[in-house]
Amino acid sequence: MEAFLMGTVVTWLAMSIRMSIPLLFTGLGGLVSQKAGIYNFGLEGMMLCGAFFAYYGSFRLGSPWLGLLMAIIVGALLGLLLGFTSITLRVSQLVIGLGIGIFGLGLTSYLYRLLDQTGTEHVATLFPSIHIPFLSDIPFVGEVLFSHNFLVYVCIGLVFLISWFFNRTTQGLNFKAVGENPQVADTAGVNVIRYRYFAIIVSGALASLGGAFLTLTQTARFMENITAGRGWIALAAVILGKYNPWGVLMACFLFGAADAAQMQIQVMSLGIPYQFLLMTPYILAMLAMAGVVGKVRSPAAMGKPYVKH
């Protein structure tokens, strides 16, 4: 019994990490754009496109690396679209984001049905888990922390990188100024427009990576609307994480752990209707946001287009 319990906990924790990584990639994407003062409400659509094009690239070109590359390019392009409309044309970032979401859902489902019609089943090549000598062999810890594919470690590395970038580099501090007070940043010689473009393109690529993680490490197949609102949950994680990369990491892990738990409870068949279990990540996201609001302040110039005077 004890061994069984132990096994369950190990599986749950390892699974929690795997479930939180797509949220974390996407959440970091949301964080980067919001730091620069742009809402990215297109995260869901970008994530979905990332999931599809990573899958498509991987099976068509035979390599998950090329799939990953394809996802990054598509994500960056969608970021560029959001950037062009919200930075240069200065129109509603929110509605464009929603438009990208609807477009992304349509495009990926459309292309997927075309593939599906061919009758043959297309399976993407996956990124394998990496066995790290010694570390992976440690009981418990090894299985929870060191049994993953390389993208998991890349994602954690990005948290370090982004945290260092925003707090320790001149460019990172400039970013904060761009999000907080673009007029002052501009006066100080920071090119607000260029910074914002950079942020939103990176944001799109990161969101797309979040989607790519789903198809390139977990499912190997695409399903219509495979992200099922994860882009929005990632956005909630940015708020819950108080616009801090480590906070976002914790928030994403919380949501990932909840998702992993509900999946495990489904398998245990405890008689709880599965629909209630499926609801939990969404309800948790709402509750978590409600718990921190008022204590979190978003960047001051958020959502406001910058007009040079």
Partner 1 sequence: MSEITLTPNTGNNLKDRFFQFASKHMGFISVLISVLAILLALLIGAILIAIAGINPWEAYGYLLKGSFGSRYGFGETLTRFIPLLFASLSFAIAHKSGFFNVGAEGQIYIGAIGALLVGAYVTNLPPILHITLSLLAGIVFGALWAGIAGVLKIFLGSNELINTMMLNYVAIFLVEYLIHGPLKDPQLFIYQSSPILDSAKLPIILPKTPLHAGLIIALVVTVLIFYLLYRTPIGYQMRTVGANLRAAKYAGINIVGVTLVALITTGGLAGLGGAVELMGAQFRMVAGFSPGYGYDGIGVAVMGRYNPVGIVLAAILFAIIRVGTGAMQRGAGVPFPLLSVIQGLIIIFVIASGYLTNKLTETTVGGRA
The smaller minimum CB distance to partner 1, of residues 120 and 170, is found at 120
- The residue type of 3 is A
CA dihedral 282, 284, 290, 295 (to 10 degrees): -120
Residue that the structure tokens 């509603």 belong to: 92
Residues 39-68 as x/- pattern, contact with partner 1 by CB under 8 A: --x---x-----------------------
Question: Which of 96, 155, 201, 205 forms a contact with partner 1 (CB under 8 A)?
Answer: 96
- φ, ψ of residue 129 to 5 degrees: the values are -70, 150
- Judged by CB under 8 A, the stretch of 11-19, 127-135, 179-187, 226-234 that binds partner 1 is 226-234
Q: How far is the CB of 114 from partner 1 (least distance, A)?
A: 5
Q: What is the rounded distance in angstroms from the CA atom of residue 88 to the CA atom of residue 85? A: 6
Q: What is the rounded distance in angstroms from the CA atom of residue 37 to the CA atom of residue 150? A: 31
Using the rule CB under 8 A, is 285 a contact of partner 1?
yes
Using the rule CB under 8 A, is 261 a contact of partner 1?
no
Residue partners of 293: CB distance under 8 A and separation at least 6: 239
Q: How far is the CB of 275 from partner 1 (least distance, A)?
A: 4
Q: What is the rounded distance in angstroms from the CA atom of residue 132 to the CA atom of residue 39? A: 39
The dihedral sign for the CA sequence 135, 137, 139, 143: positive
Q: Is 39 exposed, middle or buried (0-12, 13-18, 19+ CB in 10 A)?
A: buried
Question: Which of 12, 65, 103, 153 forms a contact with partner 1 (CB under 8 A)?
Answer: 103
Question: Which of 110, 150, 160, 164 forms a contact with partner 1 (CB under 8 A)?
Answer: 110
- Judged by CB under 8 A, the stretch of 17-25, 60-68, 69-77, 272-280 that binds partner 1 is 272-280
Q: What is the rounded distance in angstroms from the CA atom of residue 208 to the CA atom of residue 82? A: 14
Using the rule CB under 8 A, is 106 a contact of partner 1?
yes
- Choose among 276, 87, 67: nearest CA to 193: 87
The smaller minimum CB distance to partner 1, of residues 46 and 152, is found at 46
Question: Which of 100, 151, 190, 207 forms a contact with partner 1 (CB under 8 A)?
Answer: 100
Per DSSP, 149 falls in state B
Question: Which of 165, 224, 263, 265 forms a contact with partner 1 (CB under 8 A)?
Answer: 224
Using the rule CB under 8 A, is 300 a contact of partner 1?
no
CA dihedral 303, 105, 256, 238 (to 10 degrees): 0
Q: Contact 255/23 with Cβ under 8 angstroms?
A: yes
- Judged by CB under 8 A, the stretch of 141-149, 176-184, 188-196, 221-229 that binds partner 1 is 221-229
Q: Between helices 93-117 and 43-61, what is the axis angle to 10°?
A: 30
- Judged by CB under 8 A, the stretch of 20-28, 242-250, 262-270, 290-298 that binds partner 1 is 290-298
Using the rule CB under 8 A, is 114 a contact of partner 1?
yes
The smaller minimum CB distance to partner 1, of residues 38 and 68, is found at 38
The smaller minimum CB distance to partner 1, of residues 188 and 286, is found at 286
Q: What is the rounded distance in angstroms from the CA atom of residue 253 to the CA atom of residue 282? A: 14
Contact residues for partner 1, defined by CB under 8 A: 41, 45, 81, 85, 89-92, 94-96, 98-110, 113-114, 117, 224, 228-229, 232-233, 235-236, 239, 273, 275-276, 278-279, 282-283, 285-286, 289-290, 293-294, 309
